[in-house]
Amino acid sequence: MNKTTFSAFVAGLIFSFGLLLSGMANPEKVLGFLDLFGAWDPSLMLVMGGAIAVGLPAFALAKKRETAVLGGPIQLPGKRALDKRLILGSFAFGIGWGLAGFCPGPGIVASGALEPGALVFAVAMIAGMLGFRWLERRTS
């Protein structure tokens, strides 16, 4: 196993433990956070705040570098405009998150625990990704 693969594995493992520890892999907790007019659970705001606190300095540092710590190129998104694809994708993501209580990372983590709802979510997510890829090829 090379150092890039090993580093990706360790980063994924740490991220997975963080998702479990924060409650992001628990759909009831996530749906409680999204239920603004019911039994709202604001605790996931701390998780999001922590993610922003870690992400902002990391992106600021990455903007100043040309290569990553392991030597690969740093490829930050260059597009900044809001377009129809971004808005529709965000809308679809929000609907899926609200219906299932999972977003991709926590859904994969919960699938590893063989949680039935997470398995259905993961299959639907993969089907959506394949459908998007097929549609992209067809229209270009």
pLDDT of residue 116: 92
Which candidate, 50, 52, 131, places its Cα nearest to that of 123?
A: 131
pLDDT of residue 72: 86
Question: 10 Å Cβ neighbour count for 127?
Answer: 10
For the stretch 126-137, pLDDT in tens is 999 999 999 999
Say whether pLDDT at 53 is over 90. Answer: yes
pLDDT of residue 133: 94
pLDDT of residue 137: 94
Say whether pLDDT at 57 is over 90. Answer: yes
Whether 123 and 115 have beta carbons less than 8 Å apart is answered as no
Give me the number of domains the chain comprises.
1
CA dihedral 103, 24, 110, 77 (to 10 degrees): 40
Distances in whole angstroms, Cα of residue 36 to Cα of each of 44, 51, 56, 87, 94: 13, 21, 27, 22, 14
Say whether pLDDT at 1 is over 90. Answer: no
The pLDDT-based confidence of 23 (bands split at 50, 70, 90) is confident
> In the chain, pLDDT over 90 holds for what percent of residues?
44
Enclosing domain of residue 71: 3-139
For the stretch 65-93, pLDDT in tens is 989 888 888 888 888 889 998 899 899 98
Say whether pLDDT at 13 is over 90. Answer: yes
Instruction: Write out the DSSP string of the chain.
Output: --HHHHHHHHHHHHHHHHHHHHTTT-HHHHHHHH-TTSS--TTHHHHHHHHHHHHHHHHHHHHT-SB-TTSPBP---------HHHHHHHHHHHHHHHHHS--HHHHHHHHHTT-HHHHHHHHHHHHHHHHHHHHHHHH-
For the stretch 33-47, pLDDT in tens is 888 898 899 988 998
